[in-house]
Chains A and B, each alone.
Chain A
Amino acid sequence: MILLAWKFIKFDRSKSIGIVTAIVISIFLIGQQLGLLGFLMGLMGNLVSNANLTDRDIWVIENQTENVNVLNRIDQRYVQEIRSIKGVEQTYPIVIVSCQASFLDGKTAGVNLIGSEAPVFITGPTQDRIFEGRLADLATPEAVSAEFFNASSWKTELFLNKPIELNGKSARIKLITKKAQAFGGDFMYTTIENARFYGNLDPSTVSIVSVRLAPGVDKMEVIERINSLYPKLRAWDVEKLRNSTVKEILISSNMGMSFGTLVVFAMISGFFIIGLTLYSSALDRIKDYGTLKAIGAKKGYVNRLIVTQAFLYAVFGFVIAMLLLLGFQQGVKNSGLFINFSLPFVAFLFGLTLLISIGGSLFAVRKISRLEPASVF
């Protein structure tokens, strides 16, 4: 059957090229857009992802927001109060302040300075995101980190010990991160003292209280306790806070709608282009299908022949689209755009290709299914 389907595909070369091209364009667009969305969603939650957290950690923030990138400050005293709650092992204050970074070459950039207590550095960056330098180097006065991939957007060169200014105060890059980018303002990591200093922040406030629970403690129970004790605060499982952040940004920026619409339209256009081209191809070969029926092929056989062609188109189209996507992935990697084509995502794309291609073939199947073998006389 596959050989016969292949012969039909090969014979109708121009239409076959059209169908495969439609699949490639559809799947490439869908893969590219979803990959890009995945990358941006990763950035949206990077404040959490970059942090040195465990599954015993909770973040407490003021209760007005569900987006960790947009925080109002809370009283510093909560850090001690929450530490006294049963089941809490430790609490860590986190400060996030906006600064203007100025470089020696006169370039400037808006950054978010993230400060947490040394030597733990609960906000990270995690070891796998440190490109140059050591986390402990951030514990020195004036020390801040910078993101490797921001060099191009800041249009400056980044290296260890590079002197910079933050809000007009002198600082020095002691750590370079990689893949720790932010969505919107760029991240610079430092100690809590430095963050307060550069951000001109009152020491009586913090942005987040990071709470580490004692082993074996029920996380939900502590979250509920904090929420009931402090109505102005909200305790979050960090994973849920990241998801909530992503959801908030997707909705408020209409990004979800925008990417979703593009993906849906790529699917619909692919479905109809493939469907109609396959239909037209089936009409071109209607005499062959009728002959097959007349000489004794069962209806199911002829239907399978069309679906097998659609399957082969899907495989060819998918392979070419994936090669293009991998090329795209490599091409944008150097600019800090990391698109992850995980195995489940690739499997999803293949499933989608089959859906579009085989779904599109149903127009042709329907037509040929009704074809009477007597039509060839």
Chain B
Amino acid sequence: MQETVISLKGVNKIYKTGDTTITALDSTDLELKKGELTLIMGPSGSGKTTLLSIIGCVIYPTAGEVFFLDRKVTDLKENELAAIRLGQIGFVFQQFNLLEPLNALENVMQPMVLQQLPKAEARQRAKDALEKVGLLDRMYNLPKKLSGGQKQRVAIARALVTNPPIVLCDEPTASLDARSAAVIMEELKALAEEGKAVIIVTHDLRLRKFADRIIYVEEGKVSNTISNEEEYK
């Protein structure tokens, strides 16, 4: 039985703008486990990103409870959530979100800088992480000097450099060509096989073959959650 890293119990998220109320996520129960690559799929505006943001301890739900490694995080303060994100979650973004003024190495070092690790150690670990994604020779390049695929691999190196148990990816292949997308997905799949919980929000149906589990979100509701085996039956 694989260990649950995140569980959501009766979670909903409501946004209010003026007189309008939008239920982005409604009564959601969910468990995410280590060693699984989970896809969160659904149409635009379905609540996928809201779900990812709640799983990633980026926003608070309006109601319900979120447990992160058995710790209730919905009662935590903003800075405590930031500490969880820093130490326990690796983020990979659709637009890569590398810090433009920093080179690849400094970008990968940044989470460890935030953790106040000694500079030499942070540097070495960042180099190791870049080597793993095959970009050691580009470590002094600014993001603008890297291709989309290279940027995403730097982003993956940054997400993994602190060795978090969870990797959250928001449309990681959306800005990439098919070949780069396949490389990135292979890398993410390998992470899941190493025992990490890899959660990917995507529209891209081609990614289903990499998933251990697929969660469909529609109109703010987790409408269906199936294993990949069932998907291909």
Contacts and interface: CB of A to CB of B under 8 A. Distances in A.
Interface of A: 4, 7-8, 10-12, 285, 287-288, 290-301, 372-374, 376-377
Interface string B106-130: 1000110110000000000000000
A224 to B, nearest CB: 65
B101 A296 contact: no
Nearest to B106: A7
Interface of B: 49, 52-53, 56, 58-59, 78-79, 82-87, 89, 91, 93-95, 97-102, 106, 110-111, 113-114, 158, 170
A10 B84 CA distance: 31
A377 B58 contact: yes
Nearest to A296: B86
A373 B58 contact: yes
A300 B83 CA distance: 13
Given A11-B100, A288-B99, A377-B170, A296 B83 contact: yes
A8 B56 CA distance: 27
Given A296-B89, A297-B86, 13 more contacts: A10-B101, A11-B100, A291-B93, A292-B114, A294-B85, A295-B85, A295-B111, A295-B158, A297-B82, A297-B114, A300-B79, A372-B58, A374-B58
B101 A377 contact: no
A294 B58 contact: yes
A295 B101 contact: no
Nearest to A293: B82
Contacts of B99: 288, 291-292
Contacts of B158: 295
A60 B5 CA distance: 90
A295 B202 CA distance: 20
Contacts of A299: 78-79, 82
B58 A7 contact: no
Residue among B79, B82, B84, B98 having the largest count of chain A Cβ atoms under 10 Å: B82
Contact of B110 (A12, A295, A374): A295
A292 B86 CA distance: 10
Nearest to A288: B99
A374 B100 contact: no
